[in-house]
Structure 1
Amino acid sequence: MGEYLRNWLAEYVKVNNAPRTWEGRAHRIERHIIPALGRLPLTSLKPDHLQRFYAEKLSGGRIDGKGGLSGATVSAMHLTVHAALETAVRRGLLVRNVADAVDPPHVERPEMHTLNEAGLNAVLEAARRTPYFALFYVHLFTGVRRSEALALRWCDVDLALGHVYTNRAMHRLRTGEIIFRAPKSAHGRRMIALSPSACLVLRQHRDNEEALKESLQDDGLIFCHVDGSPLLPDTVTHAWVKLVRRCGQGGIRLHDCRHTHASIMLKQGVHPKIVQERLGHSSIRLTLDTYSHVAPGLQEAAALAFDNVVLASSKERQPEPIR
């Protein structure tokens, strides 16, 4: 089993997946899966082996010995094992994928936290005194992911038309290497309309950058150090955590800027299809499933709007209720 998994990583995952995907799967295989299951012959692996392995990881799977792993972490191990065995089935090494007969751990959906309008303005006001004001402004006013924002170049922005084009993402590997990659899906490549205030913030940011640098290159990063080198993702996240704590908004993650952007737009009656396009979701169903519960009153507002449209176009009075 161990030999097959290492070959699978080298011959399949590393060739067909993004470096971050390979890195995550390699970590789970080397640190957890091979130590527990690696000595088993591939064809001898049974559902009971996997079910017992997941149970052990949930109860005491931490490397430091301080308790069990989360359901999400163990579920990721299940997905890795399932993918590896599915490849073995396609190659004729196995007759069936025994992971199909295993119940993976239940993953609790984390509670979503968002800023309201007052909280958003308080955070932005505090951010003005930091080097990350423009970056956090773009996060909140476009809903882009951290990896997408940190990969933006000046050539990706049209301030005259008020558009930003996301066509790549920045990641930092465990080795410290910075990589830029195209989005995972076609929906990740998108044009996002900028609000007038976002355009003003970016113009001011560009003016500040030009004052600090000898020249500003079109292919240069928008959000970077003075020497043009990329900002480290974890550094940006730590700066955000400190900022929201100072504002009394602890618990709001940087990724929650994305949720905040979507929920405020939905509350204002923006069509979910537009929100989907701005966020780069693969389907409108994903958008609706993720954000419908954070916009209370949408159903009532829709019913009232329908009532107003229909009754306004009719001169007849509403029918009397049937008795």
Structure 2
Amino acid sequence: MKRRTNGDGCVKKLPSGSHRWQITLGFDEHGRQILKSGTEKTKQDAERARVQALADHSRGLLPVPSQVKVGEWLSRWCALKRANLAPKTHANYQYVIDRHLIPLLGHKKLQDLKPSDVRAAYVHLADRGFSKSLLHQARVILRQALQEAVFDELVARNAAEVARLPSFKRSQTARALDTAEVTAFLRVASEHRLGRLFAFVLSTGLRRGEVCALRWVNVDLERGILRVRENVTVVHGKAVLGAPKTEAGVRDLHLASDTVALLREHRREHGVSPNGYVFTNARGERLYPDSLTKLAGKLAQRAKLGDVRFHDLRHTYASLMLARGVPMEVVSEKLGHSRPSTTADIYRHVFAEEHERHTLDLTELLTPVPLKIRSAAKRVEDVDADEPAA
């Protein structure tokens, strides 16, 4: 091993042929060296990595692990993640870190953090009445941030990886309107200048921000295709135009003939705004997402439907499509979900009519249904026939 003075570290060739570099960051409270190391394919690369690590350490970019606290690391991690997150997601992460995680865990050192500490933080948030959604977000942040600390060799394990969330009673906050409720809602909505917007959402399942961001340039009425390419989110009270929520959110939707007719009529009546948005406010400006939420609630109250969120119209679209037998995979793609399981878990609502349709008496359940089933022997023969010769 080639040694250097003044804590410069060393480079050592490994039996595999690669080279391992190592430097000393300092000493712990017991006088033991705190080391930082890595492996490179060549000696030249290892030397370069060693020198870079020393330079980073001298500039404070490679802190001594025992001195890094959870709050400091979370803030640093969130700042580095900013470039890879949507503005609203980053704002939510920063809020959860500043408001909840730092007050509960920020004072602890990274190396001292235990799964029981993380679990206690989750329980504290749950006991104070915070939602399951917030706890899930806190868990995602902690797991990602601490995993980054593992990769940087600041800690040996991810304390949030095995810390489980407390149990929650299953609650149904989302609502899907049935056909009679949809009819009542649209009857009231038709009296408003944005009435067609709500009919459009119930026909396409678009997100609130996707509707606000929709431009005529992305609507092909001749071919009946809508291209979802932009989304508006609200970050710290300000509407921000950006890409759709996920990669799967970038999608082309085929429009039904009555939806095409609705858009044609809307364009004839309102024309095309200077900025090209399909739906605008009375001044011809892009809609503010939160205003749609308030308007949906007011229209639902007038229709005597109780509390209805704008997002419930998206739930309604998904549930009505699935109730009509549209394959889950198709509905998932139309909604812009990455996985059909998301659609099934969140947006599937079973209507009373479906319960009635699938209620069978004992006689029906016991009546043999002729099924054509291949014998086990036949299946074995088929498998054997497909198997390659030994």
Whole-angstrom CA distance in 1 between matches of 2:273 and 2:371: 52
Alignment-derived partner of residue 337 in structure 2: 281
> Can you give the 5+ residue segments of structure 2 that lack an aligned partner in the other structure?
1-69, 360-368, 373-390
Q: 1:73 aligns with which of 134, 138, 147?
A: 134
Q: Name the SS of the counterpart of 1:101 in structure 2.
A: coil
Q: Name the SS of the counterpart of 1:192 in structure 2.
A: strand
Is the 2:200–2:259 Cα contact (8 Å) retained in structure 1? yes
Check 1:309–1:50 CA distance in 2 against 1; reply closer, same or farther (3 A cut).
Answer: closer
Q: Normalising by structure 1, what TM-score? A: 0.82
Is the 1:71–1:106 Cα contact (8 Å) retained in structure 2? no
CA displacement 1:158-191 (0-9 Å, x = unmatched): 12222211112111211x3322222243321112
The alignment status of 1:4 with 2:73, answered yes or no, reads yes
Whole-angstrom CA distance in 2 between matches of 1:172 and 1:30: 19
Letter in 2 for 1:233: P
The alignment status of 1:264 with 2:302, answered yes or no, reads no
Letter in 2 for 1:97: N
Q: 1:136 aligns with which of 198, 203, 224?
A: 198
CA displacement 1:216-265 (0-9 Å, x = unmatched): 45x61111224443211111101100111111211332111112112222
Alignment-derived partner of residue 121 in structure 2: 53
Which structure has the bigger radius of gyration?
2
Alignment-derived partner of residue 160 in structure 2: 99
Q: Name the SS of the counterpart of 1:165 in structure 2.
A: strand
Q: 2:82 aligns with which of 2, 14, 18?
A: 14
Letter in 2 for 1:263: S
CA displacement 1:78-126 (0-9 Å, x = unmatched): 2211211111111211111001221113353525421111211111111
Q: Name the SS of the counterpart of 1:245 in structure 2.
A: helix
Q: Name the SS of the counterpart of 1:220 in structure 2.
A: coil
Is the 1:166–1:190 Cα contact (8 Å) retained in structure 2? yes
Check 1:21–1:291 CA distance in 2 against 1; reply closer, same or farther (3 A cut).
Answer: closer
Letter in 1 for 2:255: L
Letter in 1 for 2:93: R
Whole-angstrom CA distance in 2 between matches of 1:105 and 1:231: 39
Alignment-derived partner of residue 241 in structure 1: 297
Deviation at 1:145, TM superposition (A): 0.9
Greater Cα shift, 290-299 or 196-205: 290-299
Letter in 2 for 1:243: L
Letter in 2 for 1:128: S
Alignment-derived partner of residue 376 in structure 2: none
Alignment-derived partner of residue 43 in structure 1: 111
Q: 1:221 aligns with which of 277, 296, 315?
A: 277
Deviation at 1:149, TM superposition (A): 1.0
Is the 1:146–1:255 Cα contact (8 Å) retained in structure 2? yes
> Which structure has more RCO (C-alpha within 8 Å, separation ≥ 6)?
1
Q: Name the SS of the counterpart of 1:99 in structure 2.
A: coil
Letter in 2 for 1:147: G
Larger proportion of strand: 2
Deviation at 1:71, TM superposition (A): 2.9
Check 1:298–1:262 CA distance in 2 against 1; reply closer, same or farther (3 A cut).
Answer: farther
Larger proportion of helix: 1
Greater Cα shift, 25-34 or 69-78: 69-78
Check 1:272–1:32 CA distance in 2 against 1; reply closer, same or farther (3 A cut).
Answer: closer
Deviation at 1:153, TM superposition (A): 0.2
| Paired residue total | 292
Q: 1:179 aligns with which of 231, 235, 240?
A: 240
Alignment-derived partner of residue 110 in structure 1: 172
Deviation at 1:150, TM superposition (A): 0.9
Alignment-derived partner of residue 83 in structure 1: 144
Whole-angstrom CA distance in 2 between matches of 1:216 and 1:53: 50
Q: Name the SS of the counterpart of 1:240 in structure 2.
A: helix
CA displacement 1:183-210 (0-9 Å, x = unmatched): 2433211121222222222222212222
Is the 1:113–1:251 Cα contact (8 Å) retained in structure 2? no
Deviation at 1:309, TM superposition (A): 12
